Amino acid sequence: MANSLHAFIQGTKAAMLAISAHGMRSALTTLGIIIGVGAVITVVAIMESLSATITDQLDDLGSDMVTLQAHTNPEQEMLGKSNKLSYDDFLMLKAKTKNVSDMTATMRAFSLGTSVQYGRSNTQTQIIGTDSSYQRVINTYPELGRFLSESDDLRRRRVAFIGSTVAEKLNMPSNPTGEFINLSGDWFRVIGLAETRGKIFGFDQDNYIIAPFSTIRSLNGSQATDNIDIMFRPQPGASLDVIKRQMTQILRQKHKLSDEDVDYFKFTTAEKAKKQFAQITNTVTFVAGGVVGISLLVGGIGIMNIMLVSVTERTKEIGIAKALGATPQFILFQFLIEALILSLLGGVIGLALGYGLAAMIAMFMPGDGGVMVPLWAVALSFGFTTAIGVIFGLAPAIKASKLNPVDALRYE
């Protein structure tokens, strides 16, 4: 044991000397590992910070927010059916469901199309009809002006709360409140400008116009074709499953569905979207990780190559060491440690490089620009480079340790 420790310490010293004696060659050898580890760290760090940004944004949307939408299953679709959630459904749910806060209904303004005009500018956007409770459900707050009020809805006022992209595309003044915009012939007064939310996966979160639910409903005309989305938030501590069961029961009773009939609606949560997104980023991370893993393998072979050259080149030196009493174990340690140091050196430099690169790229990404290198990626990189050092250093080290002293000494 003491001998092994001694061989380890002295072997490390000898390895350090050998590495520094061939500075340039050592640097080139580690390059493969540097690039490999650097690439792994960059990819992982970017994926992690991207996913953290998105998760943050999804949290802003309210990860506990639940959307209830009409759902037509493929069988029904083939029969030409199209299920709808009506305003009556909403009112009934709002009256009967317990443990739910901030329930709100939204409606697409299909009669108004998607075109909006201001002065000579016009743009495409989505127009949502909803009421004042929407603000709390979706966490949308005004930058300027105000959100919809209850009286806006009661009086069917033609007012609009707009996202920042709409204001920008329409070249509106920096404070657009009080201006009038034209939605397919109907004039709406802008009462508020929303805080900018940014983009998720390239989807603009600020391209929308919100108008009072009753206004949109009357403009849509025929009430028979109402189709609304319902959003709500369970009260803190309340079980979402219980609420879902309750709502399902209410709606099924109202529509007199028999046991064979399937639900004509479905629940969606932000939590689910978050999970789906996490799945995507994990897949991308592992695929990218696998690809760059190959470059680590190539780097490892580079180390083995140089170690074999080094053993051959230093045959005489090994012969001297053996003649002076170095044990095979000592020689083995010396060359193994040399390979290990080379690959770990590559790992450390690669880690720094990858971190720097990720930080640079992060500056061009949405979010707060922070880079996170998860601990598992660091541990994995070091585990991998250590393994490479040992695996690819072993063959040359064994070769060196088995040299016959007299033959090694004769080598020129």
Partner 1 sequence: MVELDHDSVIDLRGITKNYQMADQNFCALDNINLSINRNEYVAITGPSGSGKSTLMNVLGCLDNPSSGEYFLDQKNVAMQSEAQLAKIRNYGVGFIFQSFNLLPRASVLVNVMQPLIYRVMPNSERKQLALTALDRVGLSDKVYSLPNQLSGGQRQRVAIARALVTNPAIILGDEPTGNLDSKTTGDIMALFDELHDQGHTIILVTHEADIARHCRRVIRLVDGHIESDVINTKEPENG
Which residues contribute to the site for partner 1 (CB under 8 A)?
2-3, 6, 10, 14, 21, 316-317, 319-330, 404-406, 409
Distance between CA 391 and CA 300 in Å, rounded? 8
Q: What is the DSSP letter of 263?
A: P
Nearer to partner 1, 12 or 117 (CB): 12
Task: State which residue, 137 or 318, has the beta carbon closest to partner 1.
Answer: 318
Please measure the distance between the N-terminal and C-terminal CA atoms of the chain and give it in whole angstroms: 35
Nearer to partner 1, 102 or 317 (CB): 317
* Shortest spacing between CB 14 and partner 1, in angstroms: 8
Three-class secondary structure of residue 250 per DSSP:
helix
335-346 burial, b at 16+ Cβ within 10 Å, e below that, comes to bbbbbbbbbbbb
**Cβ at position 355, least distance to partner 1 in Å:** 36
Measured between alpha carbons, how far is residue 333 from residues 3, 15, 143 in Å? 12, 9, 67
Beta carbon nearer to partner 1, 275 or 316: 316
Nearest approach, Cβ of residue 340 and partner 1 (Å) = 19
Give the 3-state DSSP-derived string for 217-229, with helices as H, strands as E and coil as C. HHHHCCHHHCCEE
- Going 203 to 41 to 276 to 50, the CA torsion angle's sign is negative
Note the helical H segments in 126-188.
134-138, 150-154, 164-169
Residue type, 43: V
Smallest separation (angstroms) from partner 1 to the CB of 27: 19
For residue 330, the one-letter residue type is F
Q: Phi then psi for 222, rounded to 5 degrees?
A: -45, 115
What's the min distance (Å) between Cβ of 5 and partner 1?
9
Nearest to partner 1 of 298, 406 (CB atom): 406
**Measured distance CA(404)–CA(383) in Å, rounded:** 34
- Containing H/E element for 264? none
Q: Which is nearer to partner 1, 238 or 409 (CB)?
A: 409
Name the residue nearer to partner 1 (CB basis): 331 or 339.
331
66: left (phi over 0), alpha (psi -120 to 50) or beta: beta
Shortest Å distance, C-beta 337 to partner 1: 14
196 vs 327, which CB is nearer to partner 1?
327
CB of 412 to partner 1, least distance (A): 10
Closest to 327 (Cα-Cα) out of 316, 336, 318:
318
Secondary structure letter of residue 262 according to DSSP: P
For 329, other C-beta atoms within 10 Å of its C-beta total 14
Question: 7: how many CB neighbours lie within 10 A of its CB?
Answer: 19
3-state secondary structure of 21: helix
Q: How far apart are CB 41 and partner 1 at their closest, in Å?
A: 36
Indicate the pairing of strand 126-130 with strand 208-212: parallel
Of all helices (H) and strands (E), which one includes residue 159?
strand 159-162
Question: 328 or 367: whose CB is closer to partner 1?
Answer: 328
Q: How far is the CB of 200 from partner 1 (least distance, A)?
A: 60
Question: Which residue number, 151 or 404, has a Cβ lying nearer to partner 1?
Answer: 404
Beta carbon of residue 335, minimum distance to partner 1 (angstroms, whole number): 15
Q: How far is the CB of 326 from partner 1 (least distance, A)?
A: 5
Q: Between residues 19 and 160, which has the closer beta carbon with respect to partner 1?
A: 19
